[in-house]
Amino acid sequence: MMQYVIIAGLIAFIYFFYFKKKPEQKVSKESSSRDKKEDANEMIECAQCGVYSELSDAILSNGKYYCSNECIEEAR
């Protein structure tokens, strides 16, 4: 009888510590869409050389996007 109690205890231990997942936090629709936008950066083509760079890294000058200051100087 004691063997069954020990086996049941081991099974319960394994279940609660290895298989039972923690409850997921509920995320509002606004924050989840904001996270998706941060993960997926838009790519912009340089007006001078044609290289694509992330919108966050691109430089806006005279209404056009450039990949670097060198391309801005060449465009002038």
pLDDT tier, 70 (very low <50, low <70, confident <90, very high otherwise)? very high
Does a structural domain hold residue 22?
no
CA 22/CA 7 separation, integer angstroms: 24
Q: What is the pLDDT of residues 9-57, one digit of tens each?
A: 998 888 887 776 666 666 555 555 555 555 567 899 999 999 999 988 8
State pTM to two decimals.
0.47
Total structural domains within the chain: 1
Pair of tokens at residue 32:
């989840």
CA 71/CA 47 separation, integer angstroms: 8
Look up the CATH number of the domain holding residue 73: 3.30.60
Does a structural domain hold residue 67?
yes
pLDDT tier, 1 (very low <50, low <70, confident <90, very high otherwise)? confident
Determine contact, residues 58/44, Cβ cutoff 8 Å.
Answer: yes
Does a structural domain hold residue 53?
yes
Does a structural domain hold residue 10?
no
**Which stretches of 1-76 are assigned E, i.e. beta strand?**
43-45, 52-54, 59-61, 64-66
